[in-house]
């Protein structure tokens, strides 16, 4: 069996099972996210930085999924930080290993997607080997949904990203039976400051305020309004998401399953988590859920 070994355990998140569990409990220790009423989460957007920075924001998305009943399979649309991944790439067989054990791949669904989407979606496990954007999500799923399967798909920032999400949803609708499937897109937001060579508003408190109230808000507003076809071009023009393809795909998937709006369940920046003397280099993190 093909098993993807952990690449960022011990750096982005703890490298042992006990430490992972301890930190996951802290990241998930939040009040109810959805509130009263009937809710069925069909998709979402989660950040993917080190857990110390974005874990609690991601945790609010996973808590919302838990509150709405969980899922049998999680489709994970990933941001691409590694070189050479220019097509949607699926990890189709085997499992992903983390300090909490092995998360099995939904091989049946992967095969159905590759059969239906041949020429668009490719079977490329090598695209996932050193990418962190999905790996950091898997322990959350193992902790909350130990019986669930995963289906990781890397999504470059391509114009066809929303089409990918819609087509994946159609295949899921046709083949899932009684299986419940949730799609999550992994993306951080604006990377600001000299560390990222992006500082149009200079340094200091004004730049942080601009990122929060304008630049990050622009991309989050699109995700919440479910304007999936505008997300990639917005991010490429304004530099306000590192995983716009993943975000657009998850949004389009959720739309296909009946969601009409998103809900922002968490937002912060790395500066808020770990303040410096003044804001210099920092990153935004948002959590969005889509309910049918």
- The CATH number linked to 168 is 3.40.830.10
Residue range of the domain that includes 248: 3-291
Strand, helix or coil for residue 122: strand
Q: What is the mean pLDDT of residues 27-42?
A: 78
Q: What is the pLDDT of residues 135-174, one digit of tens each?
A: 999 999 999 999 999 999 999 999 999 999 999 999 999 9
Please report which confidence band the pLDDT of residue 176 belongs to, taking 50, 70 and 90 as the band edges: confident
Domain count, the chain: 1
Residue 37's pLDDT band, with cuts at 50, 70 and 90, is: low
pLDDT at position 31, please?
73
| pLDDT band, very low/low/confident/very high, at 36 (cuts 50, 70, 90) | low
pLDDT tens digits for 58-93? Answer: 999 999 999 999 999 999 999 999 999 999 999 999
Pick the closest to residue 60 from 36, 103, 26 (CA basis). Answer: 26
Positive/negative CA dihedral, 77, 40, 97, 113: negative
Quote the longest CA-to-CA distance of the chain.
55
- The C-alpha angle 238, 49, 93, rounded to 5 degrees, equals 105
Q: Over the stretch 237-281, which tens digit does the pLDDT of each residue have?
A: 999 999 999 999 999 999 999 999 999 999 999 999 999 888 999
Rounded CA-CA distance 95/80 in Å is: 20
The reply to whether the predicted model has a pTM over 0.75 is: yes
The pLDDT confidence band at residue 175, using thresholds 50, 70 and 90, is confident
Report the alpha-carbon distance of residue 148 to residue 186 in Å, rounded.
18
Pick the closest to residue 123 from 2, 264, 270 (CA basis): 2
């Amino acid at each position: 069996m093909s098993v993807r070994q952990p690449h960022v355990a011990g750096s982005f998140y703890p490298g042992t099972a006990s430490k992972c569990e301890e930190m996951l409990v802290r990241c998930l220790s939040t009040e109810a996210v959805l509130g009263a009423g009937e809710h069925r989460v069909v998709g979402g957007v989660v950040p993917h930085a080190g857990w110390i920075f974005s874990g609690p924001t991601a945790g609010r998305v996973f808590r919302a999924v838990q509150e709405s009943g969980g899922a049998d399979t999680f489709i994970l649309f990933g941001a691409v930080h590694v070189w050479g991944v220019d097509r949607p790439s699926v990890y189709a067989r085997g499992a992903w290993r983390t300090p909490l054990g092995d998360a099995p791949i939904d091989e049946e669904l992967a095969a159905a997607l590759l059969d239906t989407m041949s020429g668009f979606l490719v079977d490329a496990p090598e695209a996932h080997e050193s990418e962190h954007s999905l790996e950091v999500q898997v322990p959350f799923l193992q902790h909350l949904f130990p019986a669930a399967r995963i289906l990781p798909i890397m999504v470059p920032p391509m114009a066809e990203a929303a089409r990918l999400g819609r087509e994946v949803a159609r295949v899921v609708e046709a083949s899932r039976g009684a299986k419940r499937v949730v799609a999550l897109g992994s993306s951080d937001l604006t990377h600001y400051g000299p560390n990222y060579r992006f500082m149009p508003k200079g340094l200091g408190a004004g730049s942080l305020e601009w990122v929060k109230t304008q630049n990050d808000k622009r991309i989050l507003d699109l995700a919440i309004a479910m304007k999936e076809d505008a997300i990639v071009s917005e991010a490429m023009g304004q530099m306000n998401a590192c995983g716009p393809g993943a975000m657009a795909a998850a949004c389009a998937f959720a739309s296909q399953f009946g969601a009409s709006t998103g809900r922002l369940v968490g937002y912060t920046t790395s500066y808020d988590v770990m303040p410096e003397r003044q804001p210099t280099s920092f990153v935004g993190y948002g959590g969005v859920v889509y309910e049918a």
